[in-house]
Amino acid sequence: MDLTTFEWLLTSGGAALIAVAEEAVADADGDPVAAAEAVRRRVPEATAEHRAAALTQVTLRMRAVPKFGPDALRLWFTPDALEQATRLPVAAHRAGRLAAAIPGGSVIDLGCSIGGDLLAFARAGLLAAGIESDPVRAAMARANLAALDLPGAVQVADATQVDPTGFDAAFADPARRGARGRVFDVEGWTPPWSWVLDLLRGRALVKVAPGLPHDLIPASVEAEWVSHAGEVKEAVLWSGSLATASRRATVIPASGGLASLTEEDDPYAGGERPVRPVGAFLYEPDGAVIRAGLVTAVAAGVDGALLDPHIAYVTSEAAFHTPFARSYRVIEQLPYREKQLRAALQERGIGRLTIKKRGVDVVPEALRKRLALRGDDEATLVLTRVAGEGTALLVHPF
């Protein structure tokens, strides 16, 4: 969609066409051809380009609801921008933390795209401004602020040429995808890693890939890994003037709220990692905890230890509910070899099996197919290493 088409969608005629497209999509029950034909019949005077743009927006808004909530139905998107956008609870956490560090302050979003993070900053009470090189995305960011009646400004410019020092903080989310897919070389990001490092010398926060190697993170910077509903969504680097720890794992449950761990919660940080045999309970740390290297903090929190010094499973004799890990009661240890394992599962009448694995060369889907279980019961099987040996544990979540 070009800028002229988008600007037309913002007119009263565009709003009317969007409304027709919404009804057509709802009536078509997922059939895009039927929806397009219905719009053509009802608004024959609209150009094919305008009809296609309206239908695309309606479809993208529906697809955006899991990320943006009900507000998505009033916002504007491009397919790529929606895919790259931060989920609302994650963006709100980040914005809230920045607002607490610079209450009532200003932030410039260097590469704001359609304004998803800009909206979160404005809602948190910050004076937010965005820089975006793509004129269509910049226009969408302005329209999205207006749609939610939020203050803010957006300018079309190259973020790398903008001086952020007039703001209390700067935010950036470098693009990590190119024409050929995901870019793993940090200097291939847009803007590149060298620019990120320069930005972090001031008061800044930068969203990066969760798999960023720890050895690339400057010593004075806090690295925070954030998960939402059990999935690691991002890592954020907080510059020295905003940092409150070295490593942090923040877990945001689907039900709301959040919890954080830092190296200060880890009595084993920098020391020997505690290991013990399989106990009565098993804990599977959240992905953000693992990425942050804080698995032993979870072990300390459940009065436990690791099953293996190199694998992120924690065992304990005590039962805990913790936001930082999934909790399981260990039912029994089963044979690790496939033939004996199949016999043991069949003997127990297990037909539906969830397979979890760490530290072993197993493809759960392929193993499940080979086991060919037929029983009526359901179970969870953990395949891992204990003292260097392959181990199969039958567990039950609680």
Secondary structure of residue 221 in the 3-state scheme = coil
Same domain for 129 and 61, yes or no, is: no
Same domain for 182 and 240, yes or no, is: yes
Same domain for 332 and 353, yes or no, is: yes
Q: Which residue has the tokens 């004129």?
A: 135
Task: Name, in order, each residue with C-beta under 8 angstroms of 201's C-beta and a sequence gap of 6 or more.
Answer: 239
Per-residue pLDDT of the chain (398 residues; tens, 9 = 90+): 999 999 999 999 999 999 999 999 999 998 999 999 999 999 999 999 999 999 999 999 999 999 999 999 999 999 999 999 999 999 999 999 999 999 999 999 999 999 999 999 999 999 999 999 999 999 999 999 999 999 999 999 999 999 999 999 999 999 887 767 777 789 999 999 999 999 999 999 999 999 999 999 999 999 999 999 999 999 999 999 999 999 999 999 999 999 999 999 999 988 899 999 999 999 999 999 999 999 999 999 999 999 999 999 999 999 999 999 999 999 999 999 999 999 999 999 999 999 999 999 999 999 999 999 999 999 999 999 998 899 999 999 99
Query: Does 388 fall in a domain?
Result: yes
Same domain for 240 and 283, yes or no, is: no
Q: What is the pLDDT of residue 181?
A: 74
Tokens representing 249 are: 């794992």
Tokens representing 207 are: 């969203």
What CATH number did the domain enclosing 156 receive?
3.40.50.150
The pairing of strands 106-110 and 169-172 is parallel
First to last CA, the chain: 49
Same domain for 178 and 230, yes or no, is: yes
Same domain for 181 and 300, yes or no, is: no
Q: What is the pLDDT of residue 179?
A: 67
Domain that holds residue 354: 272-398
Query: pTM for this structure?
Result: 0.92
Q: What is the CA radius of gyration of the chain?
A: 25
How far is the C-alpha of 6 from the C-alpha of 239, rounded, in Å? 37
Same domain for 237 and 310, yes or no, is: no
* Nearest alpha-carbon partner for 56 in 89, 110, 18, 106: 18
Tokens representing 72 are: 């998505």
Domain boundary among 229, 263, 297: 263
Query: Does 11 fall in a domain?
Result: yes
Query: Does 71 fall in a domain?
Result: no
Secondary structure of residue 174 in the 3-state scheme = coil
Secondary structure of residue 384 in the 3-state scheme = strand
Same domain for 210 and 242, yes or no, is: yes
Q: What is the pLDDT of residue 176?
A: 85
Same domain for 88 and 202, yes or no, is: yes
CA–CA–CA angle 172, 176, 182 (5° rounding): 165
Same domain for 294 and 376, yes or no, is: yes
Q: Name the domain count of the chain.
A: 3
Query: Does 74 fall in a domain?
Result: no
Same domain for 126 and 217, yes or no, is: yes
